[in-house]
C-alpha cells in the first residue's frame, strides 16, 4: 500500500470530506496501478508532498523576502531564500525567481521583461513541437506578439540552425526562443546564442522539459547562453508543479518585477518550500544517477519501439522524451493509439508530428525511472506498446501485466 494512503492528513480528509477523500484515494490508486509515461509527469518525493501540504499554504506573502506587503513573513522569507540559493547553486545562475506559478507564467514574465506588444519573436512552430506560449493564436503570446516559426529538417527531424539564422536575418526578431515540448534532442544553446547576437536579439531558453536533466548533469545547461531561462519545477526535476526563471544579475530586478507585481499576486509559499526540497534532492549524487538512468531508459524505449515498427522521430533521443508515429503499425493515428493504450494501463500523450503528417505519440521515462524501472522494463514496455497499437495482444492480458509491473515498482513503497 502506498505510504501516501497512510498519512494523518488523509485520515482527516476521510473523516471530514469522504467524497473528496475517495477522489484522492482513487487517483492515488490509478497512479500506482498504471504506467505513467506522460513526459511532463513524475512522482514527487514524500518530503516534497509534505511541504505542499504544510501550514505554509496559509501564508499570504506578496512581494519578496525582506520586502513583503504582509506581516508575519519572517519564516516564509527563510524558505524562499533557501529555494533561491539552492537553485542558483544547482544551475550556476546569478539570479533565480522561484515564484512563477507555472512554466507558462515564467514565459509570460520573460516576455514582459524583454518585449513589448507587437514585437517580432522567432520560435519553434507548434507543428514542430513548440509550446502554446511560442505563438499559438489561442494563447496570449500569439495575440500580443508577431511570431515567426522555425521548424525541423524534413529528413532528420532536427533543428536546422542555418534555417534559424536565415529567418532571424530576414525578420530581425526582438527575441529568439529555443525550446520545445516534444523535441527529443539536445538544443545547441551556443548556436542559438550566436544567431541572437548576429541579429541583435535577446535569447530566451524555454527549458521546461530538460531542466531536471540539466540538474543531474545529463543535458547541457542553457543558463550560460540565454538572457532568461524559463523552466518548470516538476517533470524530470521531481518537484511540485510550478515555474522559475533564471538570469544574470543585470536582469534580476526586472525579472522579479515582471513576476510580481506585473503578472502575479501573492507567492504560493507551500509550493516554494516544496521547490526548495526538490532543489536539495536534485543536488545529490542519487539524483545525478537518476537523471542519467532516465536518459538510458528513454534510449532503450526508443530503440525497442523502432524495432517494433514505429517511426521514431529524429531516430532516437538524447533526453527523457521519445516521440513516435504509430502509422506504420497498420495506419493507426495517434489519438486512436492513445485510447487503446490507456485501456491497457499505458498512459501517455499525443503530439504534433512535423510537416503536417498527423498526430504521433509522446512518451517520457521520468516517472517509471523514479519507480526504479530500468532498461529491461523499458524493453518490455516497448513490446507491450507495440502489441496494443497493432491490436496483436489481448488488452486485458496486457492490463494485468502492466498492473503486475507497476505493483513490483510502486511509486511510494510502504515502510
CA–CA gap between residue 166 and residue 233 (Å, rounded): 34
How many other C-beta atoms can be found within 10 angstroms of the C-beta atom of residue 16?
A: 9
Taking only the tens place, the pLDDT of each residue in 361-397 is 999 999 999 999 999 999 999 999 999 999 999 999 9
Mean pLDDT along residues 292-303: 98
Helix, strand, coil percentages in the chain from 3-state DSSP, rounded to 5? 50, 15, 35
- Split at pLDDT 50, 70, 90, the class of 2 is very low
Q: What is the pLDDT of residues 122-145, one digit of tens each?
A: 999 998 999 999 999 999 999 999
- φ and ψ at residue 105, rounded to 5 degrees: -65, -35
Q: What is the pLDDT of residues 97-118, one digit of tens each?
A: 999 999 999 999 999 999 999 9
Determine what percent of the chain is predicted with pLDDT higher than 70: 98
Say if residue 357's pLDDT is above 90: no
Q: Are residues 196 and 220 in contact, defined by beta-carbon separation less than 8 angstroms? A: no
CA separation for the pair 157, 184 (Å, rounded): 10
C-alpha span between 387 and 398 (Å, rounded): 9
Average pLDDT over the chain reads: 96
Rg (CA), the chain: 22
Residue 321, number of CB atoms within 10 A of its CB = 30
DSSP per position, 317-361:
-SSSEEEEE-TTTTS--HHHHHHHHHHTTEE-EEEEPGGG--EEE
Q: Strands 63-64 and 67-68, how do they pair?
A: antiparallel
At 5, is the pLDDT very low, low, confident or very high (cuts 50, 70, 90)?
Answer: low
pLDDT score of 229 more than 70:
yes
| 356 confidence band (pLDDT: 50, 70, 90) | low
Residue 348 has pLDDT above 90, yes or no: yes
List, for residues 56-90, the tens digit of each pLDDT value.
999 999 999 999 999 999 999 999 999 999 999 99
Contacts of 251 (CB under 8 A, 6+ apart): 95, 113, 227, 228
The rounded distance, in Å, linking the Cα atoms of 166 and 226 is: 20
What's the predicted TM-score (pTM) here? 0.95
Mean pLDDT (whole number) for 28-44? 97
Length of the chain in residues, anyone? 415
Residues with a catalytic annotation lie at: 60, 62, 206, 232, 235, 241
| Confidence (pLDDT) at 6 | 61
Burial of 301 (0-12, 13-18, 19+ CB in 10 A): buried
Q: Is the pLDDT of residue 4 over 70?
A: no
C-alpha cell at 184: 527529443
Cell of 180: 520545445
Query: For residue 156, is pLDDT > 60?
Result: yes
Amino acid at each position: 500500500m502506498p505510504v501516501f494512503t497512510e498519512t494523518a492528513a488523509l485520515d482527516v480528509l476521510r473523516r471530514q470530506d469522504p467524497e473528496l477523500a475517495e477522489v484522492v484515494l482513487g487517483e492515488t490508486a490509478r497512479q500506482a496501478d498504471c504506467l505513467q509515461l506522460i513526459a511532463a509527469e513524475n512522482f514527487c518525493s514524500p518530503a516534497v508532498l509534505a511541504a505542499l501540504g504544510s501550514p505554509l499554504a496559509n501564508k499570504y506573502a506578496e512581494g519578496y523576502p525582506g520586502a513583503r506587503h504582509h506581516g508575519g513573513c519572517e519564516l516564509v522569507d527563510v524558505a524562499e531564500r533557501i529555494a533561491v540559493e539552492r537553485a542558483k547553486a544547482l544551475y550556476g545562475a546569478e539570479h533565480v525567481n522561484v515564484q512563477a506559478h507555472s512554466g507558462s507564467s515564467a514565459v509570460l514574465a520573460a516576455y514582459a521583461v524583454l518585449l513589448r506588444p507587437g514585437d517580432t519573436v522567432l520560435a519553434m512552430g507548434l507543428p514542430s513541437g513548440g509550446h502554446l506560449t511560442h505563438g499559438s493564436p489561442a494563447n496570449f503570446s500569439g495575440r500580443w506578439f508577431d511570431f515567426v516559426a522555425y521548424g525541423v529538417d524534413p529528413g532528420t527531424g532536427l533543428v536546422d540552425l542555418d534555417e534559424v539564422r536565415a529567418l532571424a536575418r530576414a525578420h530581425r526578431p526582438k527575441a529568439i526562443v529555443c525550446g520545445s515540448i516534444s523535441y527529443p534532442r539536445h538544443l545547441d544553446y551556443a548556436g542559438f546564442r550566436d544567431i541572437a547576437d548576429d541579429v541583435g536579439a535577446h535569447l530566451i531558453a524555454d527549458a521546461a522539459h530538460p531542466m531536471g536533466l540539466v540538474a543531474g548533469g545529463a543535458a547541457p545547461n542553457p543558463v550560460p547562453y540565454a538572457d532568461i531561462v524559463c523552466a518548470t519545477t516538476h517533470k524530470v526535476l521531481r518537484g511540485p508543479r510550478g515555474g522559475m526563471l533564471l538570469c544574470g544579475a543585470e536582469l534580476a530586478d526586472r525579472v522579479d518585477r515582471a513576476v510580481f507585481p506585473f503578472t502575479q499576486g501573492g507567492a504560493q509559499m507551500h509550493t516554494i518550500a516544496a521547490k526548495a526540497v526538490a532543489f536539495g534532492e536534485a543536488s545529490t549524487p542519487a539524483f545525478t544517477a537518476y537523471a542519467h538512468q532516465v536518459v538510458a531508459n528513454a534510449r532503450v524505449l526508443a530503440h525497442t519501439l523502432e524495432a517494433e515498427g514505429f517511426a521514431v522521430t529524429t531516430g532516437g533521443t538524447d533526453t527523457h522524451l521519445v516521440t513516435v508515429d504509430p502509422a506504420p503499425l497498420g495506419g493507426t493515428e495517434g489519438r486512436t493509439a492513445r485510447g487503446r493504450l490507456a485501456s491497457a494501463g499505458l498512459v501517455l500523450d499525443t503530439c504534433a508530428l512535423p510537416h503536417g503528417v498527423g498526430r504521433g505519440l509522446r512518451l517520457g521515462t521520468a516517472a517509471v525511472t523514479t519507480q526504479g524501472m530500468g532498461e529491461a522494463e523499458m524493453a518490455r514496455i516497448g513490446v507491450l506498446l507495440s502489441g496494443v497499437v497493432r491490436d496483436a495482444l489481448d488488452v486485458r492480458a496486457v492490463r494485468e501485466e502492466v498492473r503486475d509491473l507497476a505493483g513490483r515498482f510502486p511509486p511510494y513503497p510502504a515502510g
